[in-house]
A and B are shown apart, each in its own frame.
Chain A
Amino acid sequence: MAAASSNKDIPKMNFEDALAELERIVQKLESGDVALEDSILIYERGEALKAHCEKKLKAAETKVEKIVVGSDGASAAGIEPSEVS
């Protein structure tokens, strides 16, 4: 429970930070100098981070849009799906 509540910040993290923290966690766990209870908390956080990263990675899809330039030529008047492929 405590672990779950302490991982609330993860969904807001960007991928890079999440991955970096996951790396740190793994290194810390692997170094072995973590107290047993902490190790479980840390592991759970690592899992949460991994899931978060996974989600970010899997959610990715290509979506291409094209700005319709306004009459002044420098402002966006709208967007339209691009046919480019």
Chain B
Amino acid sequence: MADLFDPQRNSANPTSENSDNNAGGSNSPELSVSELSNRLKRTVEDAYSFVRVRGEMGRVTLAKSGHLYVDLKDDKAVLNTIMWKGQVSKLPFKPEEGLEVIAEGRLSTYPGRSNYQMIAESMRPAGVGALMQLLEERKKKLAAEGLFNPEHKKDLPFIPETIGVVTSPTGAVIRDILHRVKERFPTHVVIWPALVQGEYAAEQVAGGVRGFNAISPNSRKYKRPDLIIVARGGGSVEDLWPFNDEAIVRAVFESEIPVISAVGHETDTTLIDFVSDRRAPTPTGAAEIALPVRAELIATNDALGARNLRALQRGLEGNRVELKAVAARLPRADSLVQNARQRLDFAGEKLGFALKDVAARLRSRFQKAAGGLQPIALQRELLRRQTAVETLGSRAKFALRRDVSDRSQRLHGVYGRFLARDPRNTLGRRQILIENAFNRATVAVERVIRKKHDNLESINRLLSSVSHENVLARGFVLVQRMNGELVRHASDVTSAERLRLQFIDDEVRVTSDTKAPAEVPRIVGRDAEPQQPVKLGGITSAPPKKVIKPPPSDGGQGDLF
């Protein structure tokens, strides 16, 4: 900077101001501030018409006018730098703070502020290392946010109906893609034109991704793609730099439609490759990833169709063979029936006989049964059972009785033995002996007495046989006088004598009329029976002879005895 005020440099500058210098040099003429500032400006611009400066970007301001204001700095100094709008659009990267760049341009001053500044014509990152460092830091930051996480990766459709391609509408990339699409699987492709290089590339590419997502699935005007390819051809790191832009990374992350990134060549990796759902090594590769080969699919489909048919036919054939095999094993229908028919015939034949047989058998059974079915049979049976019952009853009774008597005998026996064992009975036995003896004696005495008595009896009987009572019993009458004197002879009887006629059972008192035959015999009864004698008299009017007729006195009597 000291050079600015070096007179030698000024003098070396062959300009028209030399005359001013000469004049000032001698007389130190007065200069206005503007004058001096303009001189200085000219001097600086002449001296530094081209400079190349390396420095880290400090504060970066993109003015609305499109001009870019950047502070380039190192650890000791700061250089205000301006890049005009026209140049900014050509920047291969997005200027940002912290990036070390190499700027080319010229120096100038800004008299209004007593400033000097650099007018940059171009700017590029100061080597890959610097960019990469920046990239690493950004990648770490975005990765920490989870934007690159595998769980956010979406599956690609097997056959996309519409492919949206965000890329430059001109150039080889889109041609390559369309060519490969046609080759593999003709598909509807919608191109979203975007700058893929320079200051506005990031913004436009991100806008394209968002724009495709913004299309409604129901839109009739636009076909919403079901797959997006973001593509760019190969280039330098700087050329590809927009695809490291955070705006693109976020747009791709937020895309609901799966995104294939195909930026640069396989060796170039930009941040969009980390966030996209698939990374293709090249734009052509993107088309290959996006689409299967139709011819192959047709072949596969045809093959499957053919296999389907073959499998069915084979299955049917297999079934047919199986059926045949089974059918062959199936016995003939009539053979199934034959056996049964034969049996039926036999059975049918036998049926008639069997019926008769059965009838006959039943009839004979019936007759047998009916024959036996008579009252007598019932009675016989009844009787038989009755007898059986009685027999059983009597046997039971008998058995019971026998049993009882057995037991009672046994009891007696036992009791007797028991008694016999009783010492008290010794006395009893003796008593019995005594009693027996006494009894025998009594019996003997009684026998004697009875014998005597019998004798007495027979004597009595003999006695009574000779008594007059027996004679009376035979019808004789004993005649007595009132004083009891026996009258044996009629001659002894006086007339009107009172007599007692002793009959066997009673006595009758009479009055004899033997000596006064004219006299009506007067029968004098006992006092209690006054009429009886009359009657008797009447009755006995004849028998008195008989009555009176004396029994054979001695002789008769003698006979009696």
Given A53-B297, A63-B189, A73-B207, are A40 and B312 neighbors across the interface (CB < 8 Å)? yes
Number of B residues near A (Cβ < 8 Å) is: 48
- The closest CB in chain A to the CB of B185 belongs to A60
The answer to whether B175 touches A39, judged by C-beta atoms less than 8 angstroms apart, is no
The answer to whether A43 touches B308, judged by C-beta atoms less than 8 angstroms apart, is yes
Interface of B is mostly: helix
Contact of A65 among B186, B188, B206 (CB under 8 A): B188
The answer to whether A36 touches B191, judged by C-beta atoms less than 8 angstroms apart, is no
The answer to whether B191 touches A65, judged by C-beta atoms less than 8 angstroms apart, is yes
Asked whether B221 is an interface residue with its Cβ less than 8 Å from the other chain, the reply is yes
- What residues on A are CB-neighbors of B187 within 8 Å? 60, 62
Asked whether B141 is an interface residue with its Cβ less than 8 Å from the other chain, the reply is no
- What residues on A are CB-neighbors of B191 within 8 Å? 64-67, 82, 84
Number of A residues near B (Cβ < 8 Å) is: 42
Given A32-B318, A39-B315, A84-B178, are A16 and B204 neighbors across the interface (CB < 8 Å)? no
- What residues on B are CB-neighbors of A82 within 8 Å? 169, 189, 191
The answer to whether A76 touches B211, judged by C-beta atoms less than 8 angstroms apart, is yes
Say how far B181's CB is from chain A's closest CB, in angstroms.
6
- What residues on A are CB-neighbors of B404 within 8 Å? none
Bound Cα distance from A66 to B191, whole angstroms:
5
Contact bitstring A42-66, B, C-beta under 8 A = 1, else 0? 0100110010011011101111111
The answer to whether B190 touches A66, judged by C-beta atoms less than 8 angstroms apart, is yes
Contact of B222 among A26, A39, A79 (CB under 8 A): A79
The answer to whether A67 touches B297, judged by C-beta atoms less than 8 angstroms apart, is no
Asked whether A6 is an interface residue with its Cβ less than 8 Å from the other chain, the reply is no
Bound Cα distance from A34 to B308, whole angstroms:
13
Say how far B253's CB is from chain A's closest CB, in angstroms.
16
Given A53-B297, A57-B294, A60-B294, are A46 and B189 neighbors across the interface (CB < 8 Å)? no
Q: List 24 A-B contacts (CB under 8 A).
A: A19-B304, A22-B304, A22-B305, A30-B307, A30-B311, A30-B314, A32-B318, A36-B316, A43-B309, A43-B312, A54-B298, A58-B298, A60-B187, A62-B181, A62-B186, A62-B187, A64-B190, A65-B188, A69-B211, A74-B208, A79-B222, A82-B169, A84-B169, A84-B174
